[in-house]
Amino acid sequence: MSTETSTMEFQAEVQELLQIMIHSLYSHKEIFLRELISNASDALDKRRFEAVTRPEWQAEEEKYWIRLDPDPEQQSLTVSDNGIGMSRDEVVQNIGTIARSGTRKFLEELRSGDKAATDLPQMIGQFGVGFYSCFMVADEVELLTRKVGESKATLWQSEGDGRYRIEEAERDQPGTTIRLHFKEKPEPSEGETPDFTEEWTLRNVVRRYSDFVEYPIEMEVEKTEGEGEEAKAVKEIAVLNSRKPLWTRDRSDISEEEYQEFYRHLSHDWQEPMEAIHFRAEGTHDYTALLYLPKQKAMMPPEGGEPRSRLQLFVKRILIDPEFSELLPPWLRFIRGLVDSEDLPLNISRETLQHNRQVGQIRKRLVNKVLDALAKRLQNDRETYLVFWSAFGPMVKEGIYHDDGWKEKVAALSLFQSSAESEPVTLAEYIERMPEQQKEIYYLLGEDSKTLASSPHLEAFQAKGMEVLLLTDPVDAFAIDRLHEFEGKPLKSAEAGEVELESEEEKEEREKEQEARKDLLKAVEEPLQDWVGEVRLSNRLQDSPAVLVADSAGMNRLQEKLIREISQQDLPASKRILELNPKHPVVQRLFDLHGSPGDHDRFEEYCQLLYGQALLAEGSSLPDPAKFSKLLSRLLVEQ
Ligand code: ADP
């Protein structure tokens, strides 16, 4: 580790970001303080959490605090905390040279130009570039920090001009102090910038943005004691925030704004959540839960490893685990929030918690609460639900597949694209619209709804006025398979071989023709035998010449594809059935060719072309594209 003073350059992206901050016209500049306090609070959380297993890391007298020291004469403000602090390397990493992925994304959005200046505060928080917002108000920033467990401190200083200085320093205690020197005169275009060294301003800003922070935000203030002649000014430490953890307060006392602010604090998502679920359970177990359903997939951290949910677990207001995964199943991992238990033991280990019965019961209750809230939203506010669903629907549907007891409820909340509607529909809505003779729910699996919508498989259904659900999420194949039926109606693939779509007479007629064409159908099978198990006449095609259907026992082709991808094995594809439309001119031409003995080669080529076409129509790829293309060219020339 280097100890000397060094002057370093910010990475280009950070410089660009600083320029944006420095020249920002955004009027709510006070959010810099929210960002600093929020960082301090995170640092205190970290220290307190680490101290559970390393008591020597505890703060003096277990007191954790954030302190503001304004200096009106110097036009400066110091924000300090006795949190975890940073090592020199961490300072360089977090505040210095490395443009973290967040910074890059932030800049991309800004450069794209469709974000207005008014979006800046949301974006600052969302992309984790909060510290740099200091440069909206300050022309010089100094950061002095000492990491818990280390004896040396680090001093970092920058004027936002593209460089920063870093050197070894001293600090009495672990923690971080950030000193801002405010810009002298705001440019006239910037409007009125408040004086951030004024007690009243600071009190207001803290109240507004950081009241729920559970650590005291302290500041020395002057108070008059005594009256008249006796009156004298005394200094005392005031706590600027009310500190009461939001979730311990009554729902009726919490404003919408406070819920939102707390969500931001918790999730670092600076958009409004869709909903807050806040309740107190009393009886066998006493606990309070506050769960937020986000609306959009804002800045969910990229998922790595096994998907798991993350809720904060408190016991009597003490944070036990910042990312406890047992309180919600993985398919609800987009939910942010916390549970504060009154009766779990404080010194409980993570391992014990995982198998704790009480935790299991809380989990059940939470899932039910979430599913009920979603059901209500679906019923009463479809528009918002649609936004939510397009972001998180695929995750929620994993709940059908995992089927830990909520399969039916989750299925009822699921929306699917349908061949008949442009907006997605629920299964119940689908059933309600089914024609009387229809007994099953039909679906078609594929990779995109456009290809599916023009699939030959749909033709007969559409001709009969039946809807087909067009399922394109990778999870759909497995979810549908697990669900099996909904409200007593079996779910059936429209690709399945044995879908009954014709009347008795039609069936009889087709079977007769089938019998008559027996030899011909066998002859078509010949050149396709590597891929096709059977060739028969179709009862479902209207405009297309041929279609591939699954043998009723076989796996559907999407499942096969997924399993092939997951297992990375060259699983042999199960052979399917090629159905031909006897009314189609192309098929009739095939029949003619079969009748003329000199055309055997042409007949085979026709078979291969028809098979290739059926594959393309359903969005599958060809086994031998070069050969297909050659055959097609030859045919085009002949015509
Ligand atoms: P964010 O807080 O959203 O990650 P910031 O730019 O505000 O983004 O901060 C960058 C990082 O610097 C933080 O994630 C944290 O690791 C570190 N940091 C900032 N302030 C402090 C502090 N007061 N104490 C300890 N670490 C801090």
539 Cα–ligand 1 center, Å: 65
Q: What is the pLDDT of residues 522-560, one digit of tens each?
A: 988 888 888 888 898 887 788 889 888 876 555 566 666
163 Cα–ligand 1 center, Å: 19
User: Above 70 in pLDDT, residue 354?
Assistant: yes
Given ligand 1 and candidates 32, 93, 131, 134, which is best to mutate, with the most ligand atoms within 8 Å of its CB?
131
Show the tokens assigned to 559: 């499942």
User: Above 60 in pLDDT, residue 154?
Assistant: yes
129 Cα–ligand 1 center, Å: 8
Q: Which class in CATH covers the domain with range 416-494?
A: alpha beta
- Which residues make Cβ contacts (< 8 Å) with residue 227, sequence separation at least 6? none
Q: Which residue has the tokens 């990475």?
A: 11
Show the tokens assigned to 111: 């450069």
- Kindly report the protein residue whose alpha carbon is nearest to atom 12 of ligand 1: 94
User: Above 70 in pLDDT, residue 570?
Assistant: no
- Taking the CA atoms of residue 525, residue 527, residue 528 and residue 530 in that order, the dihedral angle to the nearest 10 degrees is 120
Res 99: pLDDT:
46
131 Cα–ligand 1 center, Å: 7
Average pLDDT over residues 165-184: 95
Name the range with the highest mean pLDDT among 320-334, 383-397, 586-600.
383-397
User: Above 80 in pLDDT, residue 395?
Assistant: yes
Average pLDDT over residues 64-89: 96
Burial class (CB in 10 A: 0-12, 13-18, 19+), 564: middle
85 Cα–ligand 1 center, Å: 9
Given ligand 1 and candidates 31, 44, 94, which is best to mutate, with the most ligand atoms within 8 Å of its CB?
94
User: Above 90 in pLDDT, residue 160?
Assistant: no
- Kindly report the protein residue whose alpha carbon is nearest to atom 19 of ligand 1: 39
Q: Which residues line ligand 1 (CB under 6 A)?
A: 35, 39-40, 43, 81, 83-86, 94-95, 128-131, 176
- Which residues make Cβ contacts (< 8 Å) with residue 423, sequence separation at least 6? 386
250 Cα–ligand 1 center, Å: 32
- Kindly report the protein residue whose alpha carbon is nearest to atom 27 of ligand 1: 39
Whole-number average pLDDT of the chain = 85
What residue spans define the domains of the chain?
6-212, 258-380, 416-494, 512-638
Ligand 1 atom nearest 39 alpha carbon: 20
Does residue 511 or residue 189 have the better pLDDT? Answer: 511
Average pLDDT over residues 134-151: 95
- Kindly report the protein residue whose alpha carbon is nearest to atom 1 of ligand 1: 128
331 Cα–ligand 1 center, Å: 30
Phi, psi at residue 414, to the nearest 5°? -85, 145
- Kindly report the protein residue whose alpha carbon is nearest to atom 14 of ligand 1: 94
- Kindly report the protein residue whose alpha carbon is nearest to atom 3 of ligand 1: 128
Ligand 1 atom nearest 178 alpha carbon: 23
Band (442; pLDDT cuts 50, 70, 90): very high
Superfamily of segment(s) 6-212: Histidine kinase-like ATPase, C-terminal domain (3.30.565.10)
Res 98: pLDDT:
46
- Kindly report the protein residue whose alpha carbon is nearest to atom 21 of ligand 1: 39
303 Cα–ligand 1 center, Å: 21
42 Cα–ligand 1 center, Å: 8
244 Cα–ligand 1 center, Å: 24
35 Cα–ligand 1 center, Å: 9
Ligand 1 atom nearest 85 alpha carbon: 25
- Kindly report the protein residue whose alpha carbon is nearest to atom 4 of ligand 1: 128
Q: Which percentage of the chain shows pLDDT scores above 90?
A: 42
DSSP assignment of 187-228: -GGG-----TTSHHHHHHHHHHHHTT-SS-EEEEEEEEES-G
Q: Which percentage of the chain shows pLDDT scores above 70?
A: 86
94 Cα–ligand 1 center, Å: 7
Task: Choose which CATH entry (1.20.120.790, 1.10.3720.10, 3.40.50.300, 1.20.1270.30) describes domain 512-638.
Answer: 1.20.120.790
Q: Tell me how far apart the alpha carbons of residues 400 and 485 are, in angstroms, rounded to a whole number.
A: 12
3-state secondary structure 603-623: HHHHHHHHHHHHHHHCCCCCC
Closest CA to 35 of 159, 210, 174: 210
194 Cα–ligand 1 center, Å: 25
Given ligand 1 and candidates 10, 20, 32, 42, which is best to mutate, with the most ligand atoms within 8 Å of its CB?
42
Q: Tell me how far apart the alpha carbons of residues 243 and 217 are, in angstroms, rounded to a whole number.
A: 9
Whether residue 47 contacts residue 154, with contact meaning beta carbons closer than 8 Å, is answered with no
Q: Tell me how far apart the alpha carbons of residues 258 and 254 are, in angstroms, rounded to a whole number.
A: 6
276 Cα–ligand 1 center, Å: 27
Element (H, E) at 157: strand 153-158
39 Cα–ligand 1 center, Å: 5
479 Cα–ligand 1 center, Å: 41
Res 171: pLDDT:
96
User: Above 80 in pLDDT, residue 500?
Assistant: no
- Kindly report the protein residue whose alpha carbon is nearest to atom 20 of ligand 1: 39
Given ligand 1 and candidates 39, 89, 93, 164, which is best to mutate, with the most ligand atoms within 8 Å of its CB?
39
State the fold for domain 258-380: Ribosomal Protein S5; domain 2 (3.30.230)
Ligand 1 atom nearest 81 alpha carbon: 23
Band (239; pLDDT cuts 50, 70, 90): very high
Distance, CA of 170 to chain centre: 43
Whether residue 296 contacts residue 325, with contact meaning beta carbons closer than 8 Å, is answered with no
- Kindly report the protein residue whose alpha carbon is nearest to atom 11 of ligand 1: 94
Band (346; pLDDT cuts 50, 70, 90): low
Band (364; pLDDT cuts 50, 70, 90): very high
317 Cα–ligand 1 center, Å: 24
Whether residue 33 contacts residue 79, with contact meaning beta carbons closer than 8 Å, is answered with yes
Predicted TM-score (pTM) of this structure: 0.68
Ligand 1 atom nearest 79 alpha carbon: 23
Ligand 1 atom nearest 84 alpha carbon: 25
User: Above 80 in pLDDT, residue 58?
Assistant: yes
Ligand 1 atom nearest 46 alpha carbon: 25
